[in-house]
Chain A
C-alpha cells in the first residue's frame, strides 16, 4: 500500500539576518556570520493511511517545525513532503485542505471575535464544499461529532472552557474533511481529566472517519497510549523510529532509553530518580557528530566525529547509533 504521507530529506533552517552594526563591521574587515538554526535536519519518514504516528522529543528538537512543514504552514528549506490523497476527494481541492492542524493553545488559536458557527464554516464555504444556506445544519453536525451541544453555535469562543475550545478547534479542522491531522501538543494545555476526554475523541474520530494522525507531544505517556508508531527526535534529527511495541520493549537509542526512564509513572510508585546528566544543547551550536554524545554514557571518540545514520534493527525499527555497528560487525 502506498503511504499517505512521504517525507523525504526534509530540512528547515532558520537564519537570523545580520543587524546593521554587524554589517558595518563586516565592511571594515570583521567577519560576522549569520546565525543559522537547523531546526529540522534531513528528516525522512512515511506514514500509512489510518496510522497514528507519535513524534516525541524535548523542546527545541524540531518536532513542531516538522509538523508545520507537513501541514504546509512553513515551506521547507530543502526536501519534500508528498501527500497521496484518495483519488475521489482529491480531484479539484487544494492539497492544503487534506492536511489540517490542531494547535496547542485553544485560547489563541480561535478568533475571539467570531461566532463558533463562522469559525467552523468559514473554510468549507470559501472552498465551495458546502452552500451558504447549509451553514447551520453543517456546523451543528460538526459540533455533534466532537461532542458539543449544537445549541451553542451562536456563542463566542470565550464562552467555552479550555476543553470545549479544543473541541471547536477539532471541529474546524474536520470541517474540510481532511485525511491527515497534525496535532501539535493538542492536549498539553488541558487538565488531566479533560485530556482523557480529548484523547478518546481523537481515537473515536479516527475509527469513524479513517483519519491519519501525526501526533506531536512531549508527553511520552500520551504518545505511548495513542500511537501505532513513534518517532523520537533530538536536535532536529530522528534518532529512533519504531512500532510502539518495540519502542516500549526494546528501545535502542541511549536517548530513547533515557527519555523512557525519566517518565514519572503512576504504576511504579515511589522511587529514586536516576536522571540523564547534562543540558539540552543549544540548537544554534549543536555538538559535532552524534548530537547526543555529550550526554551519552556510552559515547566514544567516533560519536564526536561522525553523525550516525538510521539503521534498521528489526522490521520497521530504525535507530541512529554507532553502538549498533559494534554489536553486529
Chain B
C-alpha cells in the first residue's frame, strides 16, 4: 500500500441530492467513488492523484434495473453480477451478459459497476463495446438537472468525456429492440479469465435477404476509447453481405482504428485480430441466411 492514507477523504453523502450539491458547491474538488475496483488499485500503487472522494456506493437512486416498453434502464451502480442476475438480460442483451461474465472474476463482478466502468474510461473496458452496439444512452445528473447523451458521443479522447465536474452518471438505458438479428461479442484477452482485453469486439446486424439493413460495430482496446466504427458501418450498410463487402469493411476498419504497441500486445496483432473478428462476425451473419 503505497499511498499516504491520511491524506485521502472518502465521505458518504446522505443521498443523491446531497451528493450533487457537494459536486456543484466545490467543482472539481470531489470525485465519485463507487465499487472501488479501479480506484483502489491506483491507491495501492501510489498513483491515485485525486484525494477527495464521495462514496456513492449505497445511493439508492442509482441502484436497480427497471424496464418499460421502450427501454431497459440500469442504475449506474448496477454491478456485473446484477446484470447477470437480471432475468431478461440474457435474452434481450446477450452481449452485455457476455461482457459482464468476462469482466474479472466473481469478486470483481460483485463490486464493479457499470457507471464506474464508463467513467473510468479505460480504452480496454469490456462492457462499453456491448453498450455501444446497443445504442446505450447515459443520463448525467447534476444540481442543475439531468441530461441524456448517446453513449457513442460520450468519449472524445483518452480519458476525456462529456462529463462535467459537477455531474454524475446516473442511469444507462438500452433501447429495447425487435428480436431477431445477429449479435456477436468476442473479447480477446491475455488468458481465459481475469484478463485485460487486447481486442474487444461487439456487433449487431439486421440482415434481410443477404442485404445489410442495419449494422453496429463497436470495439475496445484499438483506440484511445471504446468507440463505434461508424465508417466501417457506413461501408457495409445497404450492401450485400459477401466476400467483397467483407474485404472492403476490413480495409476501412484498418483506417478507422488506431491500435498501439504496449506491454500486453502489439499494434500489428490488434489490427489483425480486429479485422479477423470483423470477418468472423460478418461471416456469422451470412451463415445465418
Q: Do A and B actually bind?
A: no
Give me the interface of A with B, judged by CB distance under 8 Å. none
